[in-house]
Structure 1
Amino acid sequence: MADLQSPGPPRSTADLFGDPVDSHPVWFKQSSFLQPNFDSESYIADRRTFVPFETLRSELHSHLSSLKHELVDLINRDYADFVNLSTKLVDVDAAVVRMRAPLSEIREKILVFCSAVEASLLALQTGLRQRAEASAAREVLELLLDTFHVVSKVEKLIKELPSVPADWSNGDVNFAEKDLDHLSNGFSIQHTENETNIRETQSVLLDRIASEMNRFKFYITHAQNLPFIENMEKRIQNASLLLDASLGHCFVDGLEHRDANVIFNCLRAYAAIDNTRRAEEIFRSTVVAPLIQKIIPHSSSGVVGGGASGDELEEDYKKIKQYIEKDCKFLLEISSTENSGLHVFSFLSNSILIEVLSAIQKGRPWAFSPGRPTEFLKNYKSSLDFLAHLEGYCPSRSAVAKFRAEAVYAEFMKQWNVGVYFSLRFQEIAGALDSALAGASLVPIQTSHSERRNSQDLTLKPSVTLLECLKSCWREDVVVLSCSDKLFRLSLQLLSRYSNWLSSGLAARKAGNAGSNPGSEWAISAVPDDFVYIIHDLNCLVAEICGDFLRHVIGLLSSCSTEVLEPVEQSILQGAKSLKDLIPIVMNSIIEAVVKKSVEDLKQLKGITATYRMTNKPLPVRHSPYVSGVLHPLKAFLDGERANTYLTRDIRDELLHGAAFEITGHYHELVADLVSLAKKTDSSLLRIRQGAQRRGGASSDVSENNVSNTDKICMQLFLDVQEYGRNLSALGVEAAKIPAYRSLRQCVAPTDSQNTIRAGLAYTK
């Protein structure tokens, strides 16, 4: 039988290249089949995500085949033991019966034990639940008993107060209407040490009662909607009313006599029952309100007396500060005692500031009106100073933050409509500049004979108005730090408006039409001397803006960070640069105007052709009269009073050379056209003459000694150009350095002078 089970000859474990025959891919782990939680379906699903199904099936078949071969090998190796196994299994059924009996007995015992455990657990849980219910009922009972004891204790302590006026129960504690020197027992309180002791004892008892009431409120919170508590509601209300009335009277009495111990105990009591608003209202009505009424008298119907002057609110604040220092400081110091727990009170905002706000609204309503910007700003700054004075009574930064977070503080600041104030200032400042720029002509500043104008002063009304508007934005009686961003933007807008006014006017002048740029009529009618004022004012404005104006603005904003100051400085400098960039454009307008006048004289060049055409005039020996007038407009402008007074040497030289270059360029164009036309005319006449001579049979030779009309014209032009060069030199311009002048001389120079001119041109180059 062993032969029948033989698998045949053993297989080689390696193929021709040395790789194992039964080797598997890396992803095929045989150990996975031996894991106790192996699941075939999940295994196949996991492998199919990255292995084709056919490949997986092939590997599984291969693995199955190897397992079968391994099983056969094991059987063949231990075949004798495998055959004897069946012969050793004798009386197996009887052994199974013997083992089943004790196992059944153990099972029954376990079931009985589990039933006993479950019964014990149920009994235990029932006992615990009953115990918890009893404990909760006991807690409620203890809570009710504590509540009853607290109410009884509060009632007893109230009865033990040294003096209880009969009318305290109604809660009225206004000593302006009540006689505070009368007590409910009929005894008159004398101003003696006995009175002080009674008052202090009373405050101590009230502090103790308030602590009990605080404890009572804690019990009520945890025992709501219980019949016992509802039945005690009337007693609770009576106790609360008596406590409130007694505490209010004691607090008023302490304020009247400035008894620090009594006030301290009363404040502790108010803090204990979480009724700080009541203490703040009593202090406001009994101490603050009468004082403010004296300073700012008013009635429920409105203002009492006449109107106020612009600085009356500032005077009112001074008096209020004195009263606070005299009559309120003692309470503020008591409420800010360290580690006293009295920081919950806000007497500064809910007693003082709220009363001041109410008094101003009723007695000084015009103080909040931005319709009068100067008075509004003065009152606004006085109010900010008053708030800073109140913050001085805060003992810490957290107290200052709390004061600023109060609703009364926000309401007080809301009364000052700074946005409307800025709008009015914007219209005032921007409107002034717009009015100055709306003129149809440039208006110089008028000065009296007694005043002597400085060369550093501004000359035109728009320029003066711009500088005044810029300074107005940052004047002390205008600037508001909370609007500093808007004022800074307005300053840049003013610079931009002035810059656009100039550039639009210059563009309209160059185009020769102001229709596309309304408001540019001034530039059309302006003369070169007017542009001198503009250049001078631009230089002065740039110097002022980059100097004193910039330092003043940075000084006002010095409290800001560097991240704010640097962009502000750069923006102002950029605005000044935009003005400085206009100077070359203005200079070009001057040059264009001067060149235009000079070109009018150059048009006389056409007369030279008529002078020498078809005439027998000899070669010219003098320059033409028009040459003297070509540079006359330029010389007259530079020698004028305005140019000498308001233009720097560098600008005058730049204008001189710019105009000289332009005039020479026009001169060259006119001369080149004239010479070209003359040569074409001579060429045509020569062809006509030669044709006539050929038809007449005469000789066609032309004498070389004859001088043509073109030569005469060129000679005249040459003399004119030489004189023009001498005039340029007289003005301080080297004619040889002007390319158009060199081309001009070469164009009209005689033939025998061409070589000399070319050599000179090469030398100058």
Structure 2
Amino acid sequence: MAEETAIVTATSDSSLLLGRAGCPVWLNPERFLIPDFNADACVADLRRYVPLATLQNELSNYLATLKTKLVEVINEDYADYVGLSGRLANVEGSVVRMRKPLLELRDKLHAVQEAVRSELNSLNQGLRKRKEVATQRALLELILEVSHVAAKVDKLLEELAASDKSTSTAPAAPTPALGAASGVASAADSNGSGSGPSDVELLAQCRLLERVAAEVSRLAFLANKGKDLAFVRSLEPRITAHRAALRGRLSTALALALTPAPAADGSPASPSSCPRSITAALHALHAAADLGEAATAEAVVRSVVVAPLVERQVGEHKARGHSSVPVGGAGSGAASGNALSALLGSILAAIRAQLGPLLDASLAPGSALRSIDLLSNAVLDEVQGALAAAMPGVFSPGVPPAFHANYLTTLAWLRQLEGMCATRGSVERLRSSAAYASLMRRWNTSVYFSMLYQEIAGELEDALSADKLEPAAASAGSGVGLFASMASPQLAATVALLRCLRRAVSPDIVLPPLTDRFLRLALQLAQRYATWVSAATTARREAVAAVAAGAVAGAGTATVGGPVTPPPVQGAGSGAAGSPGSGGGAGPSGSAAWAPILPADELFAVVSDTLVVRVRLRGVL
């Protein structure tokens, strides 16, 4: 209660001191005491309540009030104000006494500050020197490591040369140009002469090659890390020579490991024999992966194993009497597809038998051989190239059934290749490879569709362009396949439409990349039939209207000369007006020729067939 009284008293004193009692409600003098008082904001706020003139008058009155209050306050305590100077007589001496220790303290603080700053600069300089020393030490260690690895590579290459001399299989002068072809030739020569290394020696040599390749790869990494050092730049020719020498030896060793070993009696190895040493080949492939020579390894595998295998399988396939250019006929498509399926199946089986472990190792998840793509660059590329060279008729769209069967067979074979991939990334790499794209470009599906389009659409156009309405044959509308359960059509044109629609949606004709085109073809066929019926309807209506107009015009004549004889009505089997056999001039053709003279029973046949077509389109398409 006492605190509330004190607050009220203080507020009243403040109001009295500031002259609040004489101010209007909208003017609060205490607002002027706020530390961050802004005159512009205050004026902008108050002018919303009163005009500027009123605000100016009130502020002027308030200023006068404040001056009056100031004078009153000074007069109330004037005695104390006058005696203030007398009571401050000894203040100057106290200030002098306090000044000296404060100045001494300031000097000490300045000295301490300078000492700290000097120590900080010394520490920063020491850290910079330490960092420079650490950098120089790291560079020195890098130089020493590069030198050590280079010497180690030299020593390992000397061991390789010594092993080559001991087995008498070293190439005359390994050069960067030594590739798959020279490696294969060297391997064949060594096997044929019988002086090549044994399996144990070959395995040891491939292991040593893998070790050397790892060291060369490490040396290349270190050289790239210190490429700005003069010492490292001076080693670049040496590193290049090491890589060239190792590349040549690697090609030769991999070719030796993949070449079938000769028989025990010294006779040449069978072409279908398994590689000499899969383990040695795996070590050589790891060496190629470490060295970054994936293309070299793929070329060796392709030339030593895949190319002879594919050539032998294609030769045997052609020797069995399978022609590269299929002939037309009812069973030409199935026969061609079966023959190609057998060929591709035998090729894949032989590849799995000879290269199965190598393919599995390169396609395994997280394998060290993931940089080597044998499936695309060695197998698929060789197969599609050999097929295009030896059997170009496989890709020819000249015989659509054979083209359709061969295309689906190839897709199925590609799915088998994708089934060998262990990861989704391997499948995507196979599909995005240049060999996969090259194989798919060989299938000219546009020409295939164009030929079938002309054949199917031409058949329907011929049926709808006839100058007379032909009835359906007795067995034409029996329906087969998807249309077997529907009602039978009565007109030959409707039978032709349904036959063309069956072909446009038949799995024996449609290819996966052409699904949209064949669907559009089916819709165009239906639209053409609808246009044909619509034209017949229009011609019929115009003929009926002309007859009715003639009857009205001759009504008067009929009363005098007798009844008017209507024109003769010809059936569907009789010659139409304007037909070549009528002897007249050029007349209407197509539906315009037979629609005006169509009897009622045949008109009902047209209506019935349109209903049949509608039901079948709804049930199938």
With the length of structure 2 as denominator, give the TM-score of the two structures.
Answer: 0.72
Match in the other structure for 1:566: none
Match in the other structure for 1:688: none
1:334 deviates by 3.0
Going from structure 1 to structure 2, the CA distance change for 1:375 and 1:94 (only over 3 Å counts) comes to same
Q: Does 1:157 align with 2:156?
A: yes
- Structure 1 distance, partners of 2:144, 2:126, is 26
Match in the other structure for 2:34: 34
Report which of the two structures shows the higher radius of gyration computed on alpha carbons: 1
Which of structures 1 and 2 has the larger relative contact order (alpha carbons within 8 angstroms, sep 6+)?
2
Question: Could you tell which deviates more after superposition, 529-538 or 285-294?
Answer: 529-538
Question: Could you tell which deviates more after superposition, 94-103 or 212-221?
Answer: 94-103
- The residue type paired with residue 423 of structure 1 is S
Going from structure 1 to structure 2, the CA distance change for 1:12 and 1:224 (only over 3 Å counts) comes to closer
Match of 2:535 among 497, 501, 504: 504
- Structure 1 distance, partners of 2:212, 2:44, is 77
1:288 deviates by 0.6
Q: Deviations over 1:77-103 (max 9, x none)?
A: 766544543442325555555544444
Going from structure 1 to structure 2, the CA distance change for 1:11 and 1:249 (only over 3 Å counts) comes to closer
SS in 1 for 2:509: coil
SS in 1 for 2:370: helix
Match in the other structure for 1:282: 300
SS in 1 for 2:420: coil
With the length of structure 1 as denominator, give the TM-score of the two structures.
Answer: 0.60
1:315 deviates by 4.2
1:321 deviates by 2.4
Match of 1:525 among 586, 597, 600: 597
Q: Deviations over 1:171-204 (max 9, x none)?
A: 2454542255649xx99346xxxx2322222222
Going from structure 1 to structure 2, the CA distance change for 1:180 and 1:168 (only over 3 Å counts) comes to farther
- Structure 1 distance, partners of 2:20, 2:102, is 54
Q: Deviations over 1:24-83 (max 9, x none)?
A: 47xx89568533xx3747756985998899387678668767766775676577665445
- The residue type paired with residue 34 of structure 2 is L
Match of 2:238 among 232, 235, 240: 235
In the alignment of these two chains, the number of paired residues is: 519
SS in 2 for 1:292: helix
Match in the other structure for 2:195: 188
Going from structure 1 to structure 2, the CA distance change for 1:189 and 1:63 (only over 3 Å counts) comes to farther
Q: Does 1:147 align with 2:219?
A: no
Match of 2:185 among 150, 161, 177: 177
- Structure 1 distance, partners of 2:254, 2:47, is 85
- Structure 2 distance, partners of 1:88, 1:309, is 131
Match in the other structure for 2:310: 292
Structure 2 unmatched runs, 5+ = 1-12, 260-274, 317-321, 328-335, 479-483, 547-586
1:526 deviates by 2.4
**2:363–2:422 Cα contact (<8 Å) kept:** yes
Q: Deviations over 1:471-530 (max 9, x none)?
A: 001223211122222222222222222112212321232234999999644423323232
- Structure 2 distance, partners of 1:537, 1:89, is 129
**2:325–2:392 Cα contact (<8 Å) kept:** no
- The residue type paired with residue 188 of structure 1 is S
**1:394–1:400 Cα contact (<8 Å) kept:** yes
Coordinate RMSD, CA, aligned: 4.1
Q: Deviations over 1:90-138 (max 9, x none)?
A: 2555555554444444444444444444444333333332322222222
**1:350–1:408 Cα contact (<8 Å) kept:** yes
- Structure 2 distance, partners of 1:412, 1:106, is 91
- Structure 2 distance, partners of 1:447, 1:42, is 105
1:207 deviates by 1.8
Match in the other structure for 1:542: 614
- The residue type paired with residue 436 of structure 2 is Y
Q: Does 1:206 align with 2:209?
A: yes
Question: Could you tell which deviates more after superposition, 509-518 or 463-472?
Answer: 509-518
Matches within 5 A, 1:418-497: 418-446=445-473, 456-497=487-528
Q: Deviations over 1:396-455 (max 9, x none)?
A: 33322332222322222222232332233223222222222222332223559xx9xx99
Going from structure 1 to structure 2, the CA distance change for 1:23 and 1:464 (only over 3 Å counts) comes to same
Matches within 5 A, 1:71-90: 81-90=80-89
**2:466–2:589 Cα contact (<8 Å) kept:** no
- Structure 2 distance, partners of 1:499, 1:224, is 77
SS in 1 for 2:422: coil
Going from structure 1 to structure 2, the CA distance change for 1:64 and 1:503 (only over 3 Å counts) comes to farther
Q: Does 1:265 align with 2:268?
A: no
SS in 2 for 1:394: coil
Going from structure 1 to structure 2, the CA distance change for 1:106 and 1:201 (only over 3 Å counts) comes to same
**1:368–1:417 Cα contact (<8 Å) kept:** yes
Q: Deviations over 1:569-627 (max 9, x none)?
A: xxx4xxxxxxxxxxxxxxxxxxxxxxxxxxxxxxxxxxxxxxxxxxxxxxxxxxxxxxx
- Structure 2 distance, partners of 1:456, 1:215, is 79
Match of 1:417 among 444, 456, 477: 444
Q: Share of identical aligned residues, percent?
A: 32
**2:307–2:382 Cα contact (<8 Å) kept:** yes
Structure 1 unmatched runs, 5+ = 1-6, 299-304, 551-571, 573-765
Matches within 5 A, 1:73-152: 81-90=80-89, 92-152=91-151
Going from structure 1 to structure 2, the CA distance change for 1:275 and 1:49 (only over 3 Å counts) comes to farther
1:284 deviates by 0.8
**1:207–1:269 Cα contact (<8 Å) kept:** yes
- The residue type paired with residue 440 of structure 1 is D
- Structure 1 distance, partners of 2:139, 2:50, is 73
**2:313–2:347 Cα contact (<8 Å) kept:** yes
Match in the other structure for 1:352: 379
